[in-house]
Amino acid sequence: MARAVHALLLALRDLPSPRVLRILAASLALTLLIFLAAGAAIFFGARWALAHGQWLAGANLDMAGIVIIFALIAASWLLFRAVAIVVVGLFADGIVADIETRHYPAAARRAVDVGWRQNIRLALASLARLILGNLVALPFYILLLVTGVGTLLLALAVNALLLGRDLEAMVLARHPDRPRLDRAARWSLGLLSAAAFLIPVANFLAPIAGAAMAVHMLHLGKRDDR
């Protein structure tokens, strides 16, 4: 865990980098656009279905619209991690390359180019793991609702495992010969990153900070990379 905290502190220092800031702005803009487009489609589609199905009308239809808006806001908070990681995955090579060039030039020189097709494959694989992992855990989420905090803690644990794997994959794509992190290191990486998604405002920085943290985790302690 100490190694992960050290990597997190280094990652936070990397956030003001001009290239990282450009990627952060682009990824947040794309994430917001996806949510707005999906939300608008669901909202107007639901209102149209309720109105044309003659299930609701007048004030009841307006009230249903308000309920739909609140449901979409709640769903956006829950799904932000999934969409943000997929979007950041599309820009992952730029983030990793920037940090490696400044901090680990030897590793940057050995890195292989990662094309946009591979970035898309990594992003879609991340999304598939997220959906499958949480679907498997869903019955346990429901059972633990009675505990008050059990569902949140299990969700944090499950997503820490998934996120650690996804963030590590972003870096290893450029370094296929690099040994993987051990389980404890990968768990620490995922846990700190998943916890950041639960903090308001910090969750907007969490995808980029997590990717930067993964770079440092993979390269810290390698003398030839310093």
pLDDT of residue 38: 74
Q: What pLDDT, in 10s, does the model give residues 161-199?
A: 888 888 888 888 888 888 888 888 888 999 998 888 878
- Distance, in Å, from the CA atom of 184 to the CA atom of 64, rounded to the nearest integer, reads 47
Q: Mean per-residue pLDDT for 53-76?
A: 58
Q: Which domain holds residue 15?
A: 2-220
pLDDT of residue 204: 82
pLDDT above 80 for 53: no
Q: Put residue 178 in one of left, alpha, beta given phi > 0 → left and psi -120 to 50 → alpha.
A: beta
Structure-token match 């405002």, residue found: 201
Q: pTM to 2 decimals?
A: 0.76
- Distance, in Å, from the CA atom of 41 to the CA atom of 54, rounded to the nearest integer, reads 20
Short-list 179, 14, 2, CA closest to 103: 14
| 190 occurs within a structural domain | yes
Average pLDDT, the chain: 79
Counted domains in the chain: 1
Percent with pLDDT over 70 in the chain: 81
Count CB neighbours of 76 within 10 A. Answer: 16
Q: What pLDDT, in 10s, does the model give residues 110-163?
A: 888 777 788 788 888 888 888 888 888 888 888 888 887 888 888 888 888 888
Count CB neighbours of 10 within 10 A. Answer: 17
pLDDT bracket for residue 41 (50, 70, 90): confident
Residue partners of 221: CB distance under 8 A and separation at least 6: 3
| 226 occurs within a structural domain | no
pLDDT of residue 67: 63
Count CB neighbours of 146 within 10 A. Answer: 8
- Distance, in Å, from the CA atom of 130 to the CA atom of 124, rounded to the nearest integer, reads 10
DSSP annotation of 146 reads G
> CB–CB of 171/214 below 8 Å?
yes
User: What does R_g of the chain's alpha carbons equal in angstroms?
Assistant: 20
pLDDT of residue 50: 62
| 225 occurs within a structural domain | no
**Burial class of residue 133 (count of CB atoms within 10 Å of its CB; 0-12, 13-18, 19+):** middle
Structure-token match 């907007």, residue found: 204
pLDDT of residue 216: 92
